[in-house]
Amino acid sequence: MRSAVRRSHDSSPLINPVIVGNLGRETDWTSAVEGVNCVVHTAAQVNPGTRRKTTPHSEYHRVNVEGTIKLAEQAAAAGVRRFIFISTAKVLGERSATRQPLSEVAPYAPCDGYASSKMEAELALLALAKHTSMEVVIVRPPMVYGLNAAGNFSALTKLLDRGIPLPIAGIKNLRSFLSIDNLVDFIWKCTWHPAAANQIFHVCDGKDLATPDLVRAIERSLKRPVYLFHCPEPVLRWGFKLLGRMDIHQRLYDSFQLDAVKAKNAMQWSPVVSLEEALLQVTQEHKN
């Protein structure tokens, strides 16, 4: 087992680290892929998470498309048996119809540069698999949460930990989530299971929640009161529009459900931890 990294991380408990530098068409993966039979590619240029900073489309393309394909091509040339690509459910857009989860055959509908680059990488990998002996597995997670998680989950946990009241009691959406423990377990199964070869999988915790219900689940894990109150949706929409953060409004109100039946049936996989168990572990470690 090897860990391919961009630079040295002296304080991280990496297994046989191999430094490859920045990711792109110029990256040389030879020392990382030589002699291995499976590659799990998790690295990506992600959204910066703030409206004050933007990432050019060219940077997404360089890292997420060119960098991925260069790794896959060198892996195939080195005789790697299977290539597992961690994509994102965002390649299908930002929303689903309530109680109509998106399956793996739903049409692509990326809404930003990050999701578009992941879609391009998926298509290129599927094409590569048709012309080489290397098997490709694509995993599309929804929002992943865990200890030290970045993005919306971290921001929400900090707000709740401070006891800040939230005007979201009236939201009635449904969204899929994925614990990092469940994601890692599914990736591990993809490294060896015969049914994973050349497939795309959606994977989630198996319990979709409305935004207020997620907050209340975090509340129970934090073991402290959380205050939710009702605010008319048009008022909140106006407020987020004024702040230039309609992306937050969308994630609060829209449904985004994934159909993970294929992972369950084809891979005989089920979550190793429930959403409640995972949240309890995360929040307890957060408090410590």
Judge if 112 and 154 occupy the same domain. no
Residue 133 one-letter amino acid: S
CA 283 to chain centre: 20
CATH of the domain at 168: 3.90.25.10
Judge if 1 and 52 occupy the same domain. yes
pTM for the complete prediction?
Answer: 0.91
Pick the closest to residue 79 from 28, 26, 133, 117 (CA basis).
133
Catalytic option among 60, 114, 145, 253? 114
Judge if 160 and 236 occupy the same domain. yes
Judge if 278 and 257 occupy the same domain. yes
Judge if 164 and 107 occupy the same domain. no
Judge if 155 and 110 occupy the same domain. no
Angle, in degrees to the nearest 10, between helices 275-287 and 151-161: 60
pLDDT tens by residue, the chain, 288 residues: 999 988 876 556 778 889 999 999 999 999 999 999 999 999 999 876 555 466 788 999 999 999 999 999 999 999 999 999 999 999 999 999 878 999 999 999 999 999 999 999 999 999 999 999 999 999 999 999 887 777 677 777 777 777 788 898 989 999 999 999 999 999 999 999 999 999 999 999 999 999 999 888 888 877 778 889 998 989 989 998 998 888 888 888 999 999 999 999 999 999 999 988 888 887 666 555
Judge if 119 and 166 occupy the same domain. no
From first CA to last CA, the distance across the chain in angstroms is 31
Judge if 123 and 156 occupy the same domain. no
What domain range is 168 assigned to? Answer: 149-175+206-288
Judge if 164 and 249 occupy the same domain. yes
Looking at the DSSP bridge assignments, the partners of residue 38 are 82
* Total count of domains within the chain: 2
Judge if 124 and 69 occupy the same domain. yes
- 114 assigned to active site: yes
Strands 199-202 and 135-140, sheet pairing: parallel
* 192 occurs within a structural domain: no
